[in-house]
Structure 1
Amino acid sequence: MTIRNSTTEYDVIVLGAGPTGENLADRTRAAGLRTAVVERELVGGECSYWACMPSKALLRPPAALAAARAVAGAREAATGELDASAVLARRDAFASHWKDAGQVAWLDGVGVDLVRGIGRLDGERRVLVRTPEGAERVLTARHAVAVCTGSRAVLPELPGLADARPWTSREATSWPTVPARLVVVGGGVVGVEMATAWRALGATVTLLVRGRALLPKLEPFAGALVAAGLRAAGVEVRFAAVPVAVRRDGPQVTVELADGEPLVAEEVLFATGRAPRTEHLGLASVGLRDGDWLPVDESCTVLGVPGGWLYAAGDVNHRALLTHQGKYQGRIAGAVIAARAAGRPLADGPWGPHAATADGAAVPQVVFTEPEVAAVGLTAEQAERAGHRVAVADYEIGQVAGASLAADDFQGRARLVVDRDRRVVLGATLVGPGVGELLHAATVAVAGQVPIDRLWHAVPAYPTISEIWLRLLETLRDEAAE
């Protein structure tokens, strides 16, 4: 029997309490708007429990050990192996042991109401919530409803896969023990990071890639260097490898390939794409279709819904499927809602900017493999396809004095992509140990469209790896002079 409660009215209702929804709710509540967040799982969302935090907790210990072994003197002290049980215990702590009391306390502290349950739209500014107790609550919004429900892993349709209990990204980041053998399907970020992590913890790992390159959305040299790093670590990397069936026989799983001998392992991870968490969301009640991505304008207002009351931020709008970009969009959507509620025009104001302009051409991303990959903006190929006249500067990072101090045999490469006509940076890619910490400098240059002539006056400290920026500018100058 359904128990119906009385209707509760808020200024703003947020569906989804991940980082995106939390940032949006924080903005609207700070602007004085009564805000509720509806969450069906754990407050904190995918990033906190099954993605960013646990995955990086798995990847950091092997990276730290590799950094120590790269320097004479420290190398002689770092003679042991990783303690897998300690790494997994640390991972569990970073995932808060899959309990959300701390995140709930944060919501309480900023004055945002939490409504636990499965929320769905029921017409304009109206949300129905099925609570864990079986009751149905009705929430209405005076100003806005924001969909921040994120994305989920997609499994391919393969014979036997449903019964084989495959890993998705969730199991890959939360599994309590190290499997003896692991097959990873997919050459994107999740695939290469999880192959790195579980190989470092002692699993025998085979990585199957349908195409002929890893990380195909990044510069080709990035995928090539990551493939070399995986192989050096003992991962078997197979390109043009297409699974056609999967079956589980007790503790073992067998992956049949279109061409080649079947692979037998204890676990198989499919890292083969994402879909929006919009199924059963009631989108039809507002003229949309359940299961679709939600297209938005730069204010994160959903297109095709009259009245400008429905917003979508984070993965669900398909602009940039990264936690930091979702948080960025959440802050902007919150500021837009606050401005509209107060009757103010959409011009940047006290609650933040009112247009998401940095989730297209200035998106930063770090891939925490060995070597690490850091990239922002356009690749050279993407820039040329977009119609830019492109200049490219490449430089071996190991030739920078700070890099040779950081590691005795520092291996890495950097690329700067520049618009010849406007003389601004369109993109940058760095591959090498710890290069993620260099990325924000490039992000500022790309997002700020800083002229190359001004970047000459951004003097890098010596001797740091940041001197790579000077070397890239010199390479551009020398090539232009030829």
Structure 2
Amino acid sequence: MIVIGGGPVGENAAARTAAGGLRTALVEFERVGGECSYWACMPSKALLRPGHALAAARRLPGVPVGDRLDAAAVLARRNGFTSDWDDAGQVEWAEGAGLTVLRGRGRLVGERRVDVGGRVLTAARAVVVCTGSVPRVPPLPGLSDVPHWGSREATSAQEVPTSLVVLGGGVVGVEMAQAWARLGSRVTLVASGERPLPKFEDFAGDLVADGLREDGVRVLTGVRATGVSTADAGISLALSDGSSVEGAHLLVATGRQPATFDLGVEEFGFGAGDPLPVDDTGRVSGVDWLYAAGDVTGRALLTHQGKYQARAVGTAIVTGAVDPEPWTAPVSTADHTAVPQVVFTDPEVASVGRTAAQAREAGLDVRVVDVDIAVAGSSLHADGYRGKARMVVDERTRTLVGVTFAGPDVAEMIHAATVAVVGEVTVDRLWHAVPAYPTISEVWLRLLESYGL
């Protein structure tokens, strides 16, 4: 077995096949642990959490709090979560799991053949591509001539920028705008849509926009960037309404694309930068020995979903090595229609499954139930708690096909909704899943009552 890409997805696929008795090589050209460990999930949440804790304390009378965060301490703690960008611990884990770690960029050069820095390896069983994704750079005039941040620079900066312009209202944009604003930067967020987070329910983006404004972020919506240039302050971003914004740094957060560049996929009929099409076992279309998992498939660009896919891939390969009968992932819907996601802003957004619009587009007979999160648990949690919940029900089966929560600290509520969606639990049965009192989860009762149960 050869796994190209040593991030969490590659680690899971490789560990699965090694545990199944296959000699497995893990190929990584940067750091074992990948984007999530050093530039995405872990450092970004380490930057966000102290600000959330301070805001939560301010919402409760009688809790002594300071006026601001200790930025140096926050950055130092962030550095600790990345092990100061040293992957020695991750390599030690991989080798302890029985993997052979190979440093270098892996490139497909033939059937089951991978070139790693001039050394060509041949896999007896299969090759798995887990190379993740990279930032999508927009064709913005002047951008190539202006120093700017991508997500990596935004999560690894060692000093708080005096001012920051964030281009893009997606997850990376809103999270980094709030993190740096709470650390003392003067932040402007530019989003081309009516609100941030356009892929979520509308109320989620509205609540997050309000939260950003309360933190001093200037939120500009419905405008596009038309060009960028250097300025006395650092950069100047021209906008479609004729105005411009300036800042010391520019963060370009306009999405990501599969990292299939310089991988040799063209030899097998796939385009560089395009996702690798896979079935539910992770097998790449038309290539019986090639598998892929994670962002590189374009299915669900989330670490937890990639790790789920990797486990399915690893099991499929091990099972196939022992038993030639086809193997299918037990819950193929898990990375299609039951994907959980959290936006770690304040307020948080936690969702799973389809939005109301997506459910209708899929032809479902949909009923949408909206309630404010206003229960004893939320009142105790914070003075002035503001939040909303939505339940999307397929009336034909009376099961949930989508749930969204938006409000402070709702992230831990989403797994219950995920179980309900994946398990196709009916609303009638959910009535007997009694939430503990007094918790924010009591909002489930309000949802079911509003539905009519």
TM range (shorter): over 0.9
Q: Distance between the aligned counterparts of 1:296 and 1:85, measured in 2?
A: 44
What is the CA-CA distance between 1:34 and the residue it aligns to? 0.4
Aligned to 2:255: 273
Aligned partner letter, 1:126? R
Residue of 363, 367, 383 corresponding to 1:387: 363
State yes or no: 1:108 paired with 2:83.
no
Q: Distance between the aligned counterparts of 2:161 and 2:27, measured in 1?
A: 36
Aligned to 2:36: 47
TM-score w.r.t. length of structure 2: 0.98
Note the alpha carbon deviations across 1:69-101, whole angstroms, 9 max, x for none: 111111xx0133100111111111111111100
State yes or no: 1:118 paired with 2:118.
no
Aligned partner letter, 2:318? A
TM-score w.r.t. length of structure 1: 0.92
Contact 1:332 1:355 in 2 (8 A): no
Q: Distance between the aligned counterparts of 1:419 and 1:290, measured in 2?
A: 39
**1:444-455 superposed matches below 5 A:** 444-455=419-430
What is the CA-CA distance between 1:292 and the residue it aligns to? 1.9
Q: 1:421 to 1:356 in 2, by over 3 A?
A: closer
Contact 1:58 1:91 in 2 (8 A): yes
Note the alpha carbon deviations across 1:196-223, whole angstroms, 9 max, x for none: 1010001111111112121111100100
**1:27-42 superposed matches below 5 A:** 27-42=16-31
State yes or no: 1:96 paired with 2:71.
no
Aligned to 1:475: 450
Contact 1:214 1:224 in 2 (8 A): yes
Q: Distance between the aligned counterparts of 1:161 and 1:146, measured in 2?
A: 35
Aligned to 1:66: 55
What is the CA-CA distance between 1:391 and the residue it aligns to? 1.3
What is the CA-CA distance between 1:154 and the residue it aligns to? 1.4
Contact 1:402 1:467 in 2 (8 A): yes
What is the CA-CA distance between 1:159 and the residue it aligns to? 2.2
Contact 1:226 1:370 in 2 (8 A): yes
Residue of 150, 161, 164 corresponding to 2:143: 161
**1:39-438 superposed matches below 5 A:** 39-74=28-63, 77-130=64-117, 136-249=118-231, 252-305=234-287, 308-347=288-327, 353=329, 356-397=332-373, 399-438=374-413
Contact 2:370 2:389 in 1 (8 A): yes
Contact 2:14 2:99 in 1 (8 A): yes
Q: Distance between the aligned counterparts of 1:333 and 1:217, measured in 2?
A: 28
Contact 2:233 2:246 in 1 (8 A): no
Q: Distance between the aligned counterparts of 1:40 and 1:402, measured in 2?
A: 48
Q: Distance between the aligned counterparts of 1:239 and 1:260, measured in 2?
A: 14
Q: Distance between the aligned counterparts of 1:289 and 1:396, measured in 2?
A: 46
Contact 1:333 1:354 in 2 (8 A): no
Aligned partner letter, 1:155? V
What is the CA-CA distance between 1:385 and the residue it aligns to? 1.0
Indicate the SS of the match to 1:254.
strand
Contact 2:320 2:327 in 1 (8 A): no
Q: Distance between the aligned counterparts of 1:367 and 1:37, measured in 2?
A: 31
What is the CA-CA distance between 1:251 and the residue it aligns to? 6.4
Contact 1:336 1:354 in 2 (8 A): no
Aligned partner letter, 2:243? E
Q: Distance between the aligned counterparts of 1:387 and 1:159, measured in 2?
A: 41
Range with bigger deviation, 372-381 or 78-87:
78-87
What is the CA-CA distance between 1:468 and the residue it aligns to? 1.0
RMSD: 1.3
Note the alpha carbon deviations across 1:95-137, whole angstroms, 9 max, x for none: 111110010011011000001001100111000111xxxxx11
Contact 2:231 2:246 in 1 (8 A): no
Aligned partner letter, 1:31? G
Note the alpha carbon deviations across 1:147-194, whole angstroms, 9 max, x for none: 000000011122221121111111111111111110000011011111
What is the CA-CA distance between 1:356 and the residue it aligns to? 3.6
When the two structures are aligned, how many residues end up with a matched partner?
453
What is the CA-CA distance between 1:299 and the residue it aligns to? 0.7
Indicate the SS of the match to 1:143.
coil
Q: Distance between the aligned counterparts of 2:343 and 2:66, measured in 1?
A: 27
Aligned to 2:432: 457
Question: Any gaps of 5 or more consecutive residues in structure 2?
Answer: none
Range with bigger deviation, 279-288 or 102-111:
279-288
Q: Distance between the aligned counterparts of 2:330 and 2:388, measured in 1?
A: 37
Identity within the alignment, %: 58
Contact 1:299 1:354 in 2 (8 A): no
What is the CA-CA distance between 1:144 and the residue it aligns to? 0.7
